[in-house]
């Protein structure tokens, strides 16, 4: 029979619930006196318990096998079904991988870039403010307090010369602000579309499974 991937995913969740309940709700081995015929407070004979456990065992394994079969068909479908997220065409499995794994690395990188940029920008600003203050102090020592207030070529030359050898700068070969903007836009654009695109694809894509 053919069912949509959406329906298959829903069945996988139901199978998970049923498997978990069967495992947690049953005993698979007990301890009892050899002479006793009954177990479980007399509700079952040992023979009945054996029959029950065998049935539960078969049911659990049937459910697990069905889950594996459905999951396998979904995976096969995801490797060949194409979707378009933004301007990029990719398989469903690639879109899922990008959403669940690659974006984690992208977000980590974005956070690191933002933190580093702010940190070293603050250091550069703070150091240059100090250089500015130190240059004015030096000027005052060289020409005197009153003369240092004048806006003349000599004062400007002294300050510029000092700054030339003491100013700080941001060493930014990658142009970090551009990278931050680029990665942020990429993440936002992908996240805004990927779940809708995958939902639409799952709703119209069919897989074949046994009854």
The tens-digit pLDDT sequence of the chain (211 residues) is 999 999 999 999 999 999 999 999 999 999 888 988 888 888 889 999 999 999 999 999 999 999 999 999 999 999 999 999 998 999 999 999 999 999 999 999 999 999 999 999 999 999 999 999 998 888 778 877 767 676 778 878 888 888 899 999 999 999 999 999 999 999 999 999 999 999 999 999 999 998 7
Asked if residue 72 belongs to a domain, the reply is yes
- Is the domain of 117 the same as that of 162? yes
- Is the domain of 60 the same as that of 156? no
Q: Rounded to 5 degrees, what angle do the CA atoms 124, 127, 132 make? A: 120
Whole-number Å distance between alpha carbons of 85 and 190: 7
For the chain, the distance separating the N- and C-terminal CA atoms, rounded to the nearest angstrom, is: 7
DSSP 45: E
Asked if residue 210 belongs to a domain, the reply is no
- Is the domain of 73 the same as that of 156? no
Which residue stretches of the chain are H helix?
5-24, 46-80, 92-97, 103-143, 145-148, 153-166, 176-204
Domain end residue (candidates: 80, 98, 116): 80
Domain end residue (candidates: 55, 80, 105): 80
- Boundaries of domain holding 47: 2-80
pTM of the full structure: 0.78
């Amino acid at each position: 029979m053919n069912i949509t991937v959406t329906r298959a995913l829903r069945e996988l969740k139901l199978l998970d619930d049923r498997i978990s309940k069967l495992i947690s709700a049953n005993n698979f081995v007990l301890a009892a006196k050899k002479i006793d015929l009954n177990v479980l407070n007399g509700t079952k004979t040992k023979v009945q318990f054996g029959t029950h456990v065998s049935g539960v065992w078969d049911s659990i394994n049937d459910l697990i096998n069905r889950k594996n079969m459905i999951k396998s068909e979904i995976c096969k479908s995801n490797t060949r079904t194409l979707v378009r997220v933004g301007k990029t065409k990719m398989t469903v499995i690639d879109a899922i991988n990008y959403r669940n794994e690659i974006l984690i690395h992208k977000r980590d990188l974005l956070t690191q870039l933002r933190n580093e940029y702010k940190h070293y920008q603050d250091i550069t600003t703070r150091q240059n403010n100090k250089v500015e203050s130190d240059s004015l102090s030096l000027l005052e020592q060289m020409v005197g307090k009153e003369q240092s207030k004048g806006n003349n070529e000599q004062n400007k030359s002294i300050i510029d010369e000092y700054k030339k050898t003491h100013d700080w700068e941001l060493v930014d070969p990658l142009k970090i602000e551009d990278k931050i903007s680029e990665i942020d836009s990429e993440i936002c654009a992908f996240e805004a579309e990927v779940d809708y695109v995958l939902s639409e694809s799952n709703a119209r894509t069919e897989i074949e499974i046994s009854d």
